[in-house]
Amino acid sequence: MDPPMTAASQPARLLTPREHEVMHWVKQGKSNWETAQILGCVEQTVKKHLQHIYRKLGVENRMAAANVLRA
C-alpha cells in the first residue's frame, strides 16, 4: 500500500498550471519583471502568483520555493 500523499511529498501538485509557469522562469533565474514580460502579464501579477506559491509550499522566498520543487 502506498503512503498517503502529503504536501511535503508532492508539493508540485499543489500549484496551478500558471504557478508552474511562474516557477519555471524563477528557476531559470528570471526576475519578476522578466517573468511578467515572458508570460504577457504585469509584474504585480507575478508577485501575487509567488505569494500564493509561497503559502502553498510553506516557504518565505523564491529560492526556498525552487528548492522545494527540485526535491
| Domain range annotation of the chain | 16-26+41-71
Secondary structure of residue 58 in the 3-state scheme: coil
Report the pLDDT value the prediction gives residue 5, as an integer from 0 to 100: 44
User: Is 50 exceeded by the pLDDT of residue 56?
Assistant: yes
pLDDT digits (tens, 9 = 90+) for 4-47: 444 455 888 999 999 999 999 999 999 999 999 999 999 999 99
The more confident residue out of 62 and 8 is 62
Q: If you ran DSSP here, which 8-state letter would residue 42 be given?
A: -
User: Is 60 exceeded by the pLDDT of residue 3?
Assistant: no
- Whether residue 56 contacts residue 14, with contact meaning beta carbons closer than 8 Å, is answered with yes
- Whether residue 67 contacts residue 52, with contact meaning beta carbons closer than 8 Å, is answered with no
Report the pLDDT value the prediction gives residue 9, as an integer from 0 to 100: 56
